[in-house]
Amino acid sequence: MRTGRLAPSPTGLLHLGNAWAFWLAWLDIRSLGGKLVLRLENIDPARSRAEYEQALRKDLAWLGLDWDTEAPPQSTRGARYDQVLEALACRGLSYPCYCTRKELRSLAGAPHMNDAGAPYPGTCRNLTTGERAALEAAGRRSSLRLRCPAKAIWRFTDRVRGAQSATLEDCGGDFALRRSDGVYAYQLAVVVDDLDQGVTSVVRGCDILISTPRQMYLYSLLQAEPPSYAHIPLVLDHEGERLAKRHGSLSLAALRDAGIRPETLLGLLAGLAGLQETYAPLRAAELLQRSGTNFSLEQVRRDSLILPANPVEAMLAQQG
Ligand code: GLU
């Protein structure tokens, strides 16, 4: 059974970009007759809040996006993540890393794929037991890193972006599985969850593309097939900036409060993406079948969706 997922992080209010990503994930699985899982990615206790969880459920329902089952939230999955960490450690695949963020930031390096920065230089890769003990005695806390084959090339066909290839070095080299404060890393949690939940189709923003080879490597270590990937274009403001906290007026809650209807917002997104010729209002399911053709992710272009300078006014104008 084809299985997709909505994997929101309850760390803030959903914005237009999240609506776009969740709508496409929903359209994809609904067009394939598959099953959609909702999974709360509340892995980071310091950033996740119950109020955002409630808000995102309300937003998804308002958009008209439903799901078939709900997976256990990441905050409840520690024992399972530990089990995988233990298995990787037993195979000598992970090691404690004592580098601080500050030390790593100070490394100059050529920019790599997206914003990975310089790859991890391997400082703690081959420390002796004595060196580890000395660092620990000095009060250093360790994260856990995965030993990665730096030069091997990872290839996959992205359903929106086509043929992709990168080495793990391009993607930042040895990466963290658990942070020094004990929080499980996104890369680990997302792979173990997608695997356990039978996810076969991942649809997410192209800002996460850089993580995909790392996740594919984890799949290979767990002797599992990775899902198919679609990295969709981002929604940018009129100056080409990614949507962030300062775009609070573009949160779904704020748009709803401004009197905008969900179909107006979806119509704008579809128009910006070239999935319809105008910005005419559109309900979530209306893209499933239009003029005799079924929706397929392959119809989505790679170009970013650039919002008009006054998106709220543009949407209100559509409502007449
Ligand atoms: N929870 C992640 C986010 O909200 C999604 C990660 C993913 O789709 O793999 O950005």
Minimal-distance CA residue to ligand 1 atom 5: 7
**Ligand 1 contacts CB of residue 208 (under 6 A):** yes
Using the predicted structure, report yes or no on whether residue 109 has a pLDDT greater than 80: no
The amino acid at residue 57 is R
Residue 52 sits in the same domain as residue 99 = no
The model's pTM: 0.95
> What is the pLDDT of the chain when averaged over all its residues?
93
**Ligand 1 contacts CB of residue 73 (under 6 A):** no
Residue 55 sits in the same domain as residue 81 = no
Residue 58 sits in the same domain as residue 87 = no
Domain presence at residue 204: no
202 alpha carbon to ligand 1 midpoint, in Å? Answer: 10
The CATH number given to whatever domain includes residue 276 is 3.40.50.620
Domain presence at residue 210: no
Using the predicted structure, report yes or no on whether residue 111 has a pLDDT greater than 50: no
Q: List CB contacts of 92: < 8 A, sequence separation 6 or more.
A: 147
Instruction: Please give the average per-residue pLDDT across 7-16, as a whole number.
Output: 95
Instruction: Please give the average per-residue pLDDT across 108-115, as a whole number.
Output: 48
Using the predicted structure, report yes or no on whether residue 114 has a pLDDT greater than 60: no
In whole angstroms, give the CA distance from residue 300 to residue 233. Answer: 8
Instruction: Please give the average per-residue pLDDT across 247-266, as a whole number.
Output: 95
Q: What is the pLDDT of residue 141?
A: 96
pLDDT: is 233 or 105 the higher one? 233
The CATH number given to whatever domain includes residue 108 is 3.90.800.10
Q: What is the pLDDT of residue 115?
A: 56
Using the predicted structure, report yes or no on whether residue 248 has a pLDDT greater than 90: no
Q: CB–CB of 187/214 below 8 Å? A: yes
In whole angstroms, give the CA distance from residue 200 to residue 222. Answer: 16
Domain presence at residue 166: yes
Instruction: Please give the average per-residue pLDDT across 141-159, as a whole number.
Output: 96
**Ligand 1 contacts CB of residue 48 (under 6 A):** no
Best CA proximity match to 91, nearest among 227, 223, 226: 223
Label residue 83 by pLDDT band (50, 70, 90): very high
Instruction: Please give the average per-residue pLDDT across 122-130, as a whole number.
Output: 97
317 alpha carbon to ligand 1 midpoint, in Å? Answer: 32
Instruction: Please give the average per-residue pLDDT across 78-101, as a whole number.
Output: 97
Boundaries of domain holding 101: 77-191
Ligand 1 atom with least separation from CA of 18: 4
Mutation test residue for ligand 1: of 3, 160, 208, the one with most atoms within 8 Å of CB: 208
Radius of gyration (C-alpha) of the chain in whole angstroms: 21
Using the predicted structure, report yes or no on whether residue 227 has a pLDDT greater than 70: yes
Mutation test residue for ligand 1: of 190, 201, 218, 231, the one with most atoms within 8 Å of CB: 190
**Ligand 1 contacts CB of residue 191 (under 6 A):** no
